[in-house]
């Protein structure tokens, strides 16, 4: 049997479980019929047991949540929040944000919270931004360059998948056949 070294322990474990289950079965001759009525000793021992209480349906309790720390926002930060809420309606609209450290982020708003928002600034990356980090109101931009960069990234990702899938289809049977060893 030509199996890679990785699959051998799995096969042996499966065979061990099957053989254990097969030998665990009792022959039909060894089985005795079950008693239909309890013996007097069993009746006496049952009389000592206390009756089980009836099951009372319990009300579903709400999950307790940790208290959230409320950070008071300045009037300027409140204006930023309202701007972000008005711009965040369209998930495909790109927004230009100037941060305190001189950085500039461009992306789509994907989540808006009480103390900040999340900006998707790549195909898979997102950046949390607090309102206190902003130096100016976010403004909508066409972001043609960012759209082009994201499109090229997606094209490269899809091209890589298209190149890897046929290679995996060819190599995987060779690994299973034992031509390519570990």
DSSP-derived secondary structure letter, 171: H
Predicted confidence at residue 71, as pLDDT, reads 76
Rounded CA separation 127/105 (Å):
9
Predicted confidence at residue 31, as pLDDT, reads 64
Predicted confidence at residue 58, as pLDDT, reads 72
Predicted confidence at residue 143, as pLDDT, reads 82
Predicted confidence at residue 35, as pLDDT, reads 66
> The pTM is what?
0.53
Predicted confidence at residue 39, as pLDDT, reads 80
> Residues in the chain with pLDDT < 50?
1
Predicted confidence at residue 146, as pLDDT, reads 83
**Per residue in 123-139, is it b (16+ CB within 10 Å) or e — as a string?**
eeeeeebbbebbeebbe
- CB atoms inside a 10 Å sphere around CB 113: 12
The Cα diameter of the chain in Å comes to 89
Walk me through the domains of the chain, giving residue ranges and CATH numbers.
75-142 (2.30.30.100)
Token pair of 31 as six digits: 């089985």
Return the SS3 of 73.
Answer: coil
Instruction: Provide the Cα torsion 137, 142, 144, 150; round to 10°.
Output: 70
Predicted confidence at residue 30, as pLDDT, reads 64
């Amino acid at each position: 049997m030509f199996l890679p070294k990785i699959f051998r322990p799995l096969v042996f474990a499966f065979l061990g479980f099957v053989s254990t289950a097969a030998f665990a079965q009792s022959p039909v001759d060894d089985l005795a019929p079950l008693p239909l009525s309890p013996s007097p000793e069993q009746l006496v021992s049952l009389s000592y047991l206390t009756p089980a209480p009836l099951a009372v349906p319990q009300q579903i309790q709400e999950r307790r949540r940790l208290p959230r720390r409320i950070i008071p926002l300045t009037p300027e930060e409140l204006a930023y929040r309202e701007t972000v809420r008005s711009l965040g309606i369209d998930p495909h609209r790109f927004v230009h944000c100037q941060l305190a450290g001189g950085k500039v982020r461009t992306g789509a708003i994907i989540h808006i919270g009480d103390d900040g928002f999340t900006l998707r600034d790549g195909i898979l990356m997102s950046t949390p931004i607090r309102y206190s980090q902003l130096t100016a109101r976010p403004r909508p931009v066409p972001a043609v360059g960012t759209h082009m960069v994201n499109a090229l990234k997606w094209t490269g990702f899809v091209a890589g998948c298209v190149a890897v899938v046929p290679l995996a289809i060819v190599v995987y049977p060779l690994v299973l056949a034992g031509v390519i060893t570990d």
